Structure 1
Amino acid sequence: MKLDSSIAAVVTGGASGLGAATARRLAAQGVKVAIFDLNADLGESLARDLGGVFCQVDVTSDTDVDAALARARSRHGQERVLVNCAGIGNATKTASRDKASGEIRHFPLAGFDRIIQVNLVATFRCIAKSAAGMLTLPPLADGERGAIVNTASVAAQDGQMGQSAYSASKAGIVGMTLPIARDLMGEGIRVNTILPGIFNTPLLQAAPDHVKAALAESVPFPKRLGDPDEYAQLVEVMITNGYFNGESVRLDGAIRMAPR
């Protein structure tokens, strides 16, 4: 797929971090970008800078996603590109003992479910609704109608202590990538997933310098945090390379996460 002003894209979690870098890279190619996010201040500012549209949306809500897609399509037309970057994380052990009191606790199931709903179910929600819209589009070269890129994490394969919910949610994204690509292959819609390692997103930017230095040192090569635009570069390749389909690819400087 050639990226230009004839292409409309939706980027969930597009107001900051990996999503914002992706929105900027797509807009630089002339793509009409719709940013889906809860953060209205950041989202509206970025949309103005890019000449795009911002939609305040909770991706766990059918109503919100439907309304956001309708707003984006009224401005830009039906999207041919969907990039799913919205997600959350936490760190809670499955069961643990308080060292001071001896109290035994377990991971609250509501907290586990929240991670699954935001990271996994909402990703599928956006894929299904966007793909249904893409089916209405006329095919391009090779019969292509659209391209979808999802965001998992290296935690899908080597999750650390306290990441049971997060790892499960991201492993679910990896696990559904090929079946969804197969579901949509007859309609010319490609589906791929990126598993990012440690990237210099706003969450890490707020960490102390010594913490960031230690994280950078843990990366085999290059010994630094990933730049969000490096993620966006891979998104661009997955969209523009028509033979890229059904793949889940690590982008991590060869890191393999330790248990803690």
Structure 2
Amino acid sequence: MQLDSSIAAIVTGGASGLGAATARRLAGHGVKVALFDLNAEQGEALAREIGGVFCQVDVTSEEQVDAAFAKARAAHGQERVLVNCAGTGNAVKTASRDKATGEIKHLPLANFDRTIQINLVGTFRCIAKSAAGMLTLDPLEDGERGAIVNTASAAAVDGQMGQAAYSASKAGVAGMTLPIARDLMNEGIRVNAILPGLFDTPLLMGAPEHVRAALAASVPFPKRLGRPAEYAALAELLITNGYFNAECVRLDGALRMAPR
């Protein structure tokens, strides 16, 4: 797929981090970009910067997602590209003992469910609704109608302590890549996933410098945190290279995460 002003795209989690970098890169090719995010201040500012449209949306809400797709399509037409970056994370052990008091606690199921609902169900919700819209489009070269890129994580494969919910959600994103690609293969819609490692996103920007340095040092090479622009470059490749389909691609500097 060639990226130009004839293409409309939606980027979830597009107001910051990986999503914002991807939105900027797509817009740099003239693509009409709609940003789905909860953060209205950042989302509106970025939309003005790139000449896009912002849609305030919680991906766990069917009604808000429907309204966001309607707003984006009214502004730009039916999207051919969807990049799912909306997500959340936490670090709580499945069960643990307080060293001082001996009190035993477990991960609240509401906490687990929220992570699954945002990272996995929210991603699938956007995929299904976007793909249904893409089916209405005329095919391009090779019969292609659209391209979808999802964000899993290296934690889908080697999650750390406290990441049961996060790893389960991201493993689900990776695991559904092939069957969804197969569901959509006769309609010319490709589906791929990126498994980022440690990236310099807002989640880590607020960490103390010694923590950031330790994380960077744990990456085999290059010994630094990943840059959102590097994620965006890979997302672009997965969109423009028509032979990429049903792939889960690690982007982590050869990192294999330790237990903690």
Whole-angstrom CA distance in 2 between matches of 1:50 and 1:159: 35
Count of aligned pairs between the two proteins: 260
Find out whether 1:82 has 2:82 as its counterpart. Answer: yes
Question: TM-score, normalised on structure 2?
Answer: 1.00
Partner of 2:53: 53
1:199 counterpart residue number? 199
Give, in whole Å, the separation in 1 of the partners of 2:132 and 2:169. Answer: 23
Partner SS state of residue 58, structure 1: coil
Question: 2: CA distance between counterparts of 1:134 and 1:62?
Answer: 19
Q: In structure 1, how many angstroms separate the alpha carbons of the residues matched to 2:100 and 2:219? A: 35
1:136 counterpart residue number: 136
Separation in 1, partners of 2:182, 2:154 = 23
Q: Which residue of 2 aligns with 1:17?
A: 17
Deviation of 1:60 (Å): 0.4
Give, in angstroms, the shift of residue 14 of structure 1.
0.2
- Secondary structure at the aligned position of 1:75 is classed as helix
Residue 156 of structure 1 corresponds to which residue in structure 2? 156
SS of the residue corresponding to residue 259 of structure 1 reads: coil
User: For 1:106-145, what per-residue CA distance to the aligned partner results, in whole angstroms no more than 9, with x for missing partners?
Assistant: 1111110000000000000000000000000000000000
1:228 partnered with 2:259 = no
Map 1:156-175; keep pairs closer than 5 Å.
Answer: 156-175=156-175
Once the two structures are aligned, what percentage of the paired residues are identical? 80
| Superposed displacement of residue 161, structure 1 | 0.2
The residue type paired with residue 147 of structure 2 is A
Secondary structure of the 1:33 match is strand
Deviation string 1:183-205 (CA, Å, 9 cap, x unpaired) is: 00000000000000000011211
**TM-align CA RMSD:** 0.4
Q: Where in structure 1 are there 5+ consecutive unaligned residues?
A: none
- Distance in 1 (CA, whole Å) between partners of 2:224 and 2:93 is 28
Specify the alignment match of 2:212 in structure 1.
212
Correspondence for 2:147:
147
User: CA separation in 2, counterparts of 1:108 and 1:208?
Assistant: 28
The TM-score normalised by the length of structure 1 is 1.00
SS at match of 2:176: helix
Gaps of 5+ in 2: none
SS at match of 2:219: coil
Distance in 2, Cα, partners of 1:84 & 1:37: 11
Partner Cα distance (2:208, 2:117) in 1: 31
* Cα distance between partner residues in 2 of 1:224 and 1:110: 34
Equivalent in the alignment of 1:183 = 183
In structure 1, distance between residues paired with 2:205 and 2:91: 18
Asked whether 1:63 is paired with 2:63, we answer yes
